[in-house]
Amino acid sequence: AAAEHIHAFARIRPELPPRTFAVLDLPVALLDTLDVYLAFEALGELTGVVIGLADAHDTSPGAAAALAASLVDLRSRGALVAIGDATGTPTFDELLAVRPDMVRVGHPLVQGIADDDARLGLVATLGAAAEQRDAWLIATDVESARDLDALARLGVPLAQGGAVGDGAERPSELRPAIALHLRSVAASRRTDDTVVALLDPAARRHRGRSGPPPCTDDSVEWVAVLDDTDVPVALVLCAHG
């Protein structure tokens, strides 16, 4: 069945839109079988192929070394490796043992994340750990626009599910309206990060004082803080009243 899965992908591979990839889910135990080996050989170059390992739960040194050896040839030909699936979330032990290129976060954490601080915190922590390993986070089963926005604000770079138009019989480009909206959310996040970065030195500069410098104009919301040479060093929220 695993080899047939790979052959089915080979038939639709020419239809993939540019700059996309396909995840082929395979049990770890089948990676070294002859049928799977020959199916991957038939694909040739593997750029755009992601091997999904949902059952890489054995993180003992011996198992991790054996898995790494099984993936050497596939990775050398351009394949990427993902762990986790739609039904669960990989552990930090799996992240360290497999050293994946992508980490999938399933619906137990994704669905309802917009209204759950605990889920937000867990996904943010997992994303930071993945980033340390140069891996990308993929949120699966994203079905609501609010959850999609929450994930985008966390900086999760990839998503699957109804909220991004998944479910078509054939791969297709992201709908322009969704793409435009996600760019807007990402731009807002970058702006927020910039403001926070500027506020940090301001907090240090005004340590020991009662608050940010007062404003004489109620229409002004932000004040630039200058150093002794009149160079802007921070941006602070104006303290009216």
Q: Are 46 and 74 in contact (CB under 8 A)?
A: yes
Q: Are 148 and 162 in contact (CB under 8 A)?
A: no
* pLDDT tens figures, 74-83: 999 999 999 9
* Phi, then psi, of 125 in degrees rounded to 5: -65, -45
* pLDDT tens figures, 109-163: 999 999 999 999 999 999 998 988 889 999 999 999 999 999 988 889 888 888 8
User: What is the C-alpha separation between 96 and 93, in angstroms, rounded?
Assistant: 5
Looking at residue 43, what DSSP letter applies? H
Collapsed DSSP state (helix, strand, coil) of residue 159: strand
The pLDDT score that the predictor gives to residue 138 is 92
* pLDDT tens figures, 92-124: 889 888 999 999 998 899 999 999 999 999 999
* pLDDT tens figures, 192-221: 554 444 444 444 344 334 444 555 556 556
Residue 222 confidence (pLDDT) above 70: no
